[in-house]
Structure 1
Amino acid sequence: MGINRPSQRKHDDLHRPDRVGPECQRRATTILDINHARPIKPASPGSHRRFPPRDFQARHRYPPLFLGRSALRRKRTRARSRNTVPTHPPSRLDKMKLVLFAHTPPPVHGQSLMVQLMLNAFGGDCRRKTAQAGPRQLHTNTYGIEVYHVNARLSHDLPDVGRPRFAKIPKLIFYCAQAIWIRFRYGVTAMYYVPAPPRRAAIYRDWIVMLLCRPFFKTLVFHWHAVGLGAWLTQQATGIERWLTHRLLGRATTAIVLSRFNQPDAEVLRPGRIFVVTNGIPDPCPDYASNLAAKRANRASHLQRLFQTRTSATANSTQPSETVHVLFLAHCTRDKGFFDAIEGVRLANARLAADKTRVSFRLTMVGSFLRADEQAEFEKLIGTIGDASWLRHLGFISEPEKWALYREADVFCFPTYFAFEGQPMNLIEAMAFGLPIVTTRWRSIPEHIPSNYPGLIDPQRPDQIATALLAVTTIDGTRFRQIFENQFSVARHLKDLANAIKAD
């Protein structure tokens, strides 16, 4: 019992600072050099500081400090056979792991498109890349974020978005279980989530997600795309709804909003910090400066000369009229301004005809109907207009066709008053193509429009739409292109978004 075996004495010596000799010190430094590329100086003899530090096992993968040469060789051989490395390379030490709990298209709308952009820019879902390429090829993005995507798609098309259905509940629970599994399987402690607009079914969905998932994640990032939840909580929500929303969604780590107008929605729930990050898209018109800028300027000058001679009563009646192409691109709903745009263009053409001007507007409507009654109303309207040659509806089109329509258009018209309008993607796209814009003083839209701009109107005012169309048609839209480059570039958006997510 009292015999101290040599192997036991050797083990004890390694953990006694006052009995570590030069050879053992060199051996310890070598092992730490292999594993961590940074030697840790052993404690000096006589000190009472434990060597290694107590938090060594929490910061490094190997539980024992001294493995011995043979044990270390065996461990490294097993690691190579699994196509892994013993420890993470230095470039991974500052990377953040993030559960992206949001769906990508379909259905196609602004929020799902921005989630898809974020997922692609941050390197895609790490789980899929692990299976396809191995862990050595995972870390190719420069934003320092590893994304683990939970594609929480509950709706199969746009009309189904926000609609309550019991069939969505099992799907939602499955997505939550998937996020929790990722938490423990990959050690992810941060979660990204997009809160709902002020619709009860959507808010109840957020309650379920936060109730099941929030206890497992240390960091919670909310990205507010919709508008109006703060006002709904203070004005319309019942007492129990208000209490549950504050309890389950309140005090998030970080809140990201699209503009200053959106900040009150986040402030109501008292997050730790708030960042304003505008949307951004890849440039759909990279050749604007070389090809399109001169065309826009020449077109504006030409139309200005035509409008200056619009009161001429002696003009030749056989002279062909000039057509100004107006583009409306959005969901074909009343609150997106679909019917207001039609009435506004009709009034503008009536004014031009009264002035005997050889200029007329032609309106192109692009988008799908979400409600059958509004589609029936549009078809009835076409029958009552009479000559509807100035109006055409194309429905849903492909992306190349959409970019071609932006190039051909002279004015972009979007008189929205949609209750949950955040930062419309179609306005950003129109700015990228240097189009003059007619839109409403609604939500955060005026923040990105120049002051005293004649194309900014009140909601539900077709007469103002007609006046604005006549005013902005002769304006060169180059300043909107500059706004796009300064505020809505994809590089700026992704950089600001990554910094907000990783903020300490």
Structure 2
Amino acid sequence: MKKKIIAVGTTTQNNTLVNGQSMMFQLIVDSLQKRGIEIIIIDYGLSIYKDFKDKRISGNFSFIKLLDNFFLTFKYIGALVANPGAKIYINTAQSKVGFIRNSIFIYLGKLFNRKVVGHQFGANYENFYNSQPRWFKKIIKKTLDKTDVFIVEGDYTKNQMSFVKNYQEHVVSIPNGLPEKIDVSKILPKKINENDEIRLLYLSNLIESKGYWDVLEAVKILNSQYNIKLKAIFAGKFLGDVDDTIAQNANEAKKLFFLKLNEYGLQDIVEYYEGLYSVKKAEAFMHSHFFILPSYYCNEGQPVSVLEAIAYGCVPIVTEYRLIPLMVNKKNGFFVPKKSPNEIANKIFWCIENTEEYNKKSKNGIDFFNSNFTAELYIDKIFNLIN
């Protein structure tokens, strides 16, 4: 009999919700299917309201989310009934509404006597847990104790789960692998030659606390103060967040972004894309000298875009935040404080003045990726835990 897994998470089929978590979920689903396992997908990313994607604010409750979760639950029950013996792999959430949905799925899975593997992306679970009243903390603990194994992205996150029973054995740390196939034989360390146009890449959802405003300010500094010939790509969807201070919502942030481009005279320097996928994304990484993500986002964990950057030899300029130091170190990139556009600009200028050191960092990044973060290494670990 063919092995079956009910996989609960967000796929990349709904491109409006493509992020690191959905890319990792899609990688796991596709890889397990290639190993001959039948996957029944319960997709968080699909909404009954087609325009909801433009109205969601990360961290906020909405009636549409609640309604979507209601229908997902019935779909999940149908999958349990129709697929006796199927194991359950579920991406968990670090928000109250998301947890309630997860808890229903986990308890239903155990009611049907199934093995349940939870997988938490992001590294804000401790803050989520500590912000809850005592009675709700007990529910969180009992729910996670019900899982057979619980996967997190690194030891930083594992230590956040110390409230889980026997967490040292129950919670397993597996750093992310790159969710896309890259022909490493074609990736060569990058160089900065005299008179090169310096190319910068920001690739992530444009959420204020991910630092994209700091990147834009750094581009302004490089252009106006250092007079450097450069091109900067911003790729990602504008999203609102409950912690925003500069703009009230995603639409306002997008308008302000383009107003700033005009104000700073960067219209010919900055390119914006709502998303870059497949070949176009690969080309952006191939042609970029630096990848910049000065994030302090509350739900940040181990950003997949940083893995992509080092795989392609881009030198990352990032914050020393959450699980980012799993991928970046002083040999392959730079750390800067949050909200420090001057520091970002200074690191880039230093590399232009020290091209051999830049080349070493690029090479070290590629080597570090190939030794630690390939998709094959990652999927083997996930497959062994589920099986």
Same structural fold, with TM-score higher than 0.5 when normalized by the shorter chain = yes
Deviation at 1:224, TM superposition (A): 1.0
Quote the Cα distance in structure 1 between the aligned partners of 2:67 and 2:345.
49
1:219 aligns with 2:115: yes
- Per-residue Cα deviation, 1:143-182 (whole angstroms, up to 9, x for no partner): xx55333234454537536553334445434433343343
Equivalent residue for 1:431, pick from 306, 310, 328? 310
**Number of the residue aligned with 1:326:** 200
TM-score when scaled to structure 2? 0.83
Quote the Cα distance in structure 1 between the aligned partners of 2:85 and 2:44. 18
Deviation at 1:493, TM superposition (A): 0.8
1:200-239, aligned counterparts within 5 Å? 200-234=96-130, 236-239=131-134
Give the counterpart of 2:325 among 437, 443, 446: 446
Out of 218, 226, 229, the position equivalent to 1:344 is 218
1:480 aligned residue: 365
Contact 1:190 1:217 survives alignment (8 Å): no
Equivalent position SS for 2:229:
strand
**CA deviation map 1:58-98 (0-9, x unaligned):** xxxxxxxxxxxxxxxxxxxxxxxxxxxxxx5xxx7xx5x43
**Counterpart of 1:151?**
43
Tell me the distance in 2 between the aligned counterparts of 1:332 and 1:492: 30
Q: Would the aligned equivalents of 1:423 and 1:444 in 2 still touch at CA under 8 Å?
A: yes
Q: Which has the higher Rg, Structure 1 or Structure 2?
A: 1
Distance of aligned partners of 1:151 and 1:382 in 2 relative to their CA distance in 1, 3 Å threshold: closer
What one-letter code is carried by the residue in structure 1 that aligns with 2:234? M
Find the aligned partners of 2:266 and 2:290 in 1 and give their Cα distance: 22
Kept after mapping to 1: 8 A contact 2:151/2:173: yes
**Is 1:497 aligned to residue 387 of structure 2?**
no
Q: Distance in 2 between matches of 1:410 and 1:453?
A: 13
Q: How does 1:22-37 map to 2 (within 5 A)?
A: none
Partner of 1:396: 275
Checking the alignment, whether the CA contact within 8 Å between 1:104 and 1:151 is kept in structure 2 is yes
Alignment partners' CA distance in 1, 2:314 and 2:333: 14
Structure 1 match to 2:232: 363
Shift of 1:387: 5.5
SS of the residue 1:352 aligns to? coil
Asked if 1:108 is matched to 2:18, the reply is yes
Q: Quick check: 1:164 aligned with 2:164? A: no
Q: Distance in 1 between matches of 2:54 and 2:91?
A: 17
**Structure 1 spans left out of the alignment, 5+ residues:** 1-87, 124-139, 307-320, 354-358
| CA shift in 2, pair 1:174/1:346, >3 Å | closer
Is the 1:183–1:189 contact (alpha carbons within 8 Å) kept by the matching residues of 2? yes
Letter in structure 2 aligned against 1:337: G
Q: Is the 8 A contact 1:163 1:201 kept in 2?
A: no
Are the structure 2 counterparts of residues 368 and 177 from structure 1 closer, same or farther at C-alpha, using a change threshold of 3 Å? closer
Q: Which consecutive unaligned segments of at least 5 residues does structure 2 have?
A: 240-249
Distance 1:189 1:388 in 2: 53
Report 1:64-463 matches (<5 A): 97-105=4-12, 106=14, 107-123=17-33, 141=35, 145-155=37-47, 157=53, 159-160=55-56, 163-188=60-85, 190-197=87-94, 199-234=95-130, 236-270=131-165, 271=167, 273-281=170-178, 284-286=181-183, 288-290=184-186, 292-293=187-188, 296=190, 299-300=191-192, 302=193, 306=194, 322-353=196-227, 359-370=228-239, 371-386=250-265, 388-451=267-330, 455-463=334-342
CA distance in 2, matches of 1:429, 1:396: 15
Between the aligned residues of both structures, percent identity stands at 19
Q: How many equivalent residue pairs? A: 361
Q: Secondary structure at the match of 2:268?
A: coil
Partners of 1:202 and 1:447 lie apart in 2 by 27
Aligned AA for 2:92? P
**2:294–2:319 CA contact under 8 A, matched in 1:** yes
Alpha-carbon shift at residue 389 of structure 1 (Å): 3.3
**CA deviations over 1:413-442 (Å, ceiling 9, x no partner):** 111111111211211111121111111111
Cα distance, 1:459 vs structure 2 = 1.3
